[in-house]
Every structure is written in structure tokens, then in C-alpha cells.
Amino acid sequence: MSSLSFLLIFLFQVETPDQIMALPNDLVKDLDTRIIRSMSGDEKLQVIKQLISSGGSNLPIAYDGPGTQTVAETWHNKRANCLSMTFLIVAMARHVGLESRFHNYLDLDLYTENEEEVFYNLHMVAFIKTRPESWVQQDFARTGNPPPGGIYQDVSDELAIAQFYNNKAADALTQQNWKLAQQYLDSAIRIAPNYIASWRNSGVLFTRMGRFEAASYAYQEALVLNPDDELTWFNLAMLFQRWGKGEEQFFAQKKVEKVRASNPFYQNGKAWEAIHHGDYKKAETFARRALHLNKKHPVFHHTYAVVLFHLNKEEKAMSELELAAKYSQNSEQEQLFRDKQAYLARLGD
């Protein structure tokens, strides 16, 4: 590393929340020129969508998974991941007087697992209030309907900023820039100390740095927030393995197994894993376990319906889709399951 690069690392200042959310002057001018005070909320949102799709007078903004950027960087670079795009949408909506907020969308695949660690994956979207009692979801990063079993969670501004910092820390981790990653994670913990992912990711960072005591402390802080957090226990087991603490590793691994056995989402994920491998009998076992643990979540009925369809049990599959529709969280999700029912009915004709 050159002396200049070394100096830049230590001089780097983590972006403040205001810097992250600040609209660039040219975009402010575009918004102020196109938005008329008498416009309805729906009309204002349409202007925002047109600006994003056209990029103002430049190119439209394209989806780019890896990079997390500030609002200004997103606008000028014309590339953004889901989090950066959501920050841009929320900032634009608030500038023109529309109430807007962040939401996380949890897919079926809640985590990514490798041989050493488990990472938490989230998809972020914006909800914008265009009229009284009417919130519109804006998700420019995803085409088509979201997965039918997803869960929306309201996210405070502080938590959204913490997720921004966690994303930046992950970018720094991939570059093995430990100092920068720690700066971002420390900032995330300061702004949202109860966000478990920041502590968990700090544990991952310290493990990679070989700072096992610090990693253990970070994971223990995560467990204070959620004593049954599977991802933390998994990562802790991997830490103890690298640390040479066999007894602690055994305990942590047993805890992972216990938590997974009572986690319907884990069982559901294993069902889909078996489906992708064509092992439908195994998938049926996991799908039934998920339903045994939670009979009122639509995703588990949907998964079981898919398994039953592959086992040529179309009538039972239709019944499970009916239950999935019954327990749907919103009208859009219900319609997805109704469409699947209609598709199965056409196949049976």
C-alpha cells in the first residue's frame, strides 16, 4: 500500500446521514421546475418516476447490485443497488412534500451461507403516501412481482442509515480494507445500537482480522439483542472452530441445530433446496415441518403446494394455494396465489 493510500484511509470520514440523503443541486432544480404545488400526490410521484427513468437530461439510472452510494452519487453515476435507489426515491419524494418511508422486504432466502460465515441479505423498497390512507410501493430494482412469501418491515431513518453503513462495510470487507469496514460498522452501531446485523457483521470483520476476542464480544452483543439468532450462533461456531475452542464450538453448533429445528423459515428454505435438486419427497418432509411450526404464514402453504404439484397431487396443491391466499398479507400477494390457482386449473382442463 502506498503512503498516500494509507493516509487516505485514515483521513476518510464516514458519510453523515445528511450527506447520504442530500439531493444534488441539479436534481433539486429539475424537481422544482417540474413539480407544481397544485399537483396531486400521484402526479408528483409520476414526475419522480419519469425523472428516474430518464435520468433528467442524462441517461436513465440502471440497477447495479454491488455498489452502495449516496443520493448525489446515485444521481450523477446513474447506477444504483436497491438500497441506494430507495434512498434516492425517498429523498426526492420528501423534497416535493410527499411522506415517504423505508421498508425492508425479506425474501425466502434470508441469508447466504459459506464455509466460514453466514451473511444477512435484505432488499429495500420505498413506500410513498400519495393520498390519505394510500401508500404506494416503489421498487425500481426489481422487475415483476416480488416473491409471494416475502415480509415487509417498516424501517426507521436511523435503521436505514445503519444498513447503508453495513453495505459500505461489506464493500470494504471484500477489498480487505479492515479499517474502513470498522469505521462504517462503528458508525452503524452508534446510530442504531439495537440493529443486530451491525454487531454480527462486526464479528465477521474481527474474525477475518484474527481478533477473536473482539469477534466473540461482538457476537455476544448480538445475542443480547436476540438470544436465538441463528446467524449469530452459526458464525460464533465458526469462530470457535478457528479459535481452537472445541467445547465452545460444540455448544454453539448444538444451539444452531436447536434454533433451526424450531425455525419454519429455515425448514422452508431446505424444502426449496430439495425442490431445486428434484428431491420432492425430501422437500415434502421439510415443507410439512415448516407448516407444523407455523400454519398461518402464506409462504409455507405456497411451498407445500409447489411440492404437491411436483408429486402429482394437484387437488391437494390447489387446497394449499387456497390457504396461502387466505393468509396473505395484502391484496397483491393474495392475487399472486389466485393466479397460481388459475394456472393449475387450466393445466387440469
Residue 43 C-alpha cell reads as 402526479
Task: Check which CATH number belongs to the domain holding 193 and give it.
Answer: 1.25.40.10
C-alpha 160 chain-centroid distance: 11
The residue out of 261, 296, 324 marking a domain boundary is: 261
- For CA atoms 324, 330, 331, 335, the dihedral sign is negative
- The confidence score (pLDDT) of residue 130 equals 86
- The confidence score (pLDDT) of residue 90 equals 95
Strands, E assignment, the chain: 62-63, 79-80, 100-106, 111-113, 118-120, 123-131, 134-138, 151-155
Could you tell me if 292 and 268 lie in one domain? Answer: yes
The per-residue pLDDT for range 268-312, each reduced to its tens digit, is: 989 999 999 999 999 999 999 999 999 999 999 999 999 999 999
SS3 19: helix
Residue at 9 is within a domain = no
Percent of the chain at pLDDT above 90?
65
Contact 344, 310 (CB under 8 A): no
Range of the domain at 228: 171-261
The per-residue pLDDT for range 165-214, each reduced to its tens digit, is: 999 999 999 999 999 999 999 999 999 999 999 999 999 999 999 999 99
Report whether pLDDT(4) > 90: no
Q: How confident is the model at residue 65 (pLDDT cuts 50, 70, 90)?
A: low
Report whether pLDDT(77) > 70: yes
Counting beta carbons within 10 angstroms of the beta carbon of residue 222, is it exposed (0 to 12), middle (13 to 18) or buried (19 or more)? buried
Residue 207 C-alpha cell reads as 474474525
- The confidence score (pLDDT) of residue 150 equals 58
Q: How confident is the model at residue 56 (pLDDT cuts 50, 70, 90)?
A: low
Could you tell me if 253 and 331 lie in one domain? Answer: no
Report whether pLDDT(105) > 90: no
Residue at 187 is within a domain = yes
For range 80-95, the mean pLDDT: 92
Could you tell me if 32 and 148 lie in one domain? Answer: yes
With b for 16 or more beta-carbon neighbours within 10 A and e for fewer, the 156-192 pattern comes to: eebbbbbbbbbbbbbbbbeeebbebbbbbbebbbebb
- The confidence score (pLDDT) of residue 102 equals 93
Could you tell me if 302 and 330 lie in one domain? Answer: yes
Report whether pLDDT(158) > 90: yes
Report how far residue 174's alpha carbon sits from residue 178's, in angstroms, rounded to the nearest whole number. Answer: 9
- The confidence score (pLDDT) of residue 108 equals 47
Q: How confident is the model at residue 107 (pLDDT cuts 50, 70, 90)?
A: low
The residue out of 121, 155, 189 marking a domain boundary is: 155
Report whether pLDDT(110) > 70: no
SS3 117: coil
Could you tell me if 33 and 76 lie in one domain? Answer: yes
Average pLDDT of the chain, as a whole number: 86
Report how far residue 281's alpha carbon sits from residue 292's, in angstroms, rounded to the nearest whole number. Answer: 17
- The confidence score (pLDDT) of residue 349 equals 60
Q: Which position has the higher pLDDT, 197 or 115?
A: 197
**How many domains are contained in the chain?**
3
Could you tell me if 223 and 246 lie in one domain? Answer: yes
Residue at 1 is within a domain = no
The residue out of 101, 129, 155 marking a domain boundary is: 155
Report whether pLDDT(88) > 90: yes
Lowest mean pLDDT among 66-80, 118-132, 161-175: 118-132
Most confident among 3-17, 26-40, 70-84, 238-252 (mean pLDDT): 238-252
Percent of the chain at pLDDT above 70?
85
- The confidence score (pLDDT) of residue 23 equals 97
List the end-to-end C-alpha distance of the chain, in Å, as a whole number.
68
Could you tell me if 25 and 146 lie in one domain? Answer: yes
Lowest mean pLDDT among 56-65, 98-107, 189-198, 204-213: 56-65
Report whether pLDDT(137) > 90: no
Helix H, strand E, coil C: the string for 41-80 is: HHHHHHHHHHHHHHCCCCCCCEECCCCCCCHHHHHHHCEE
Lowest mean pLDDT among 42-51, 73-82, 98-107, 321-330: 98-107
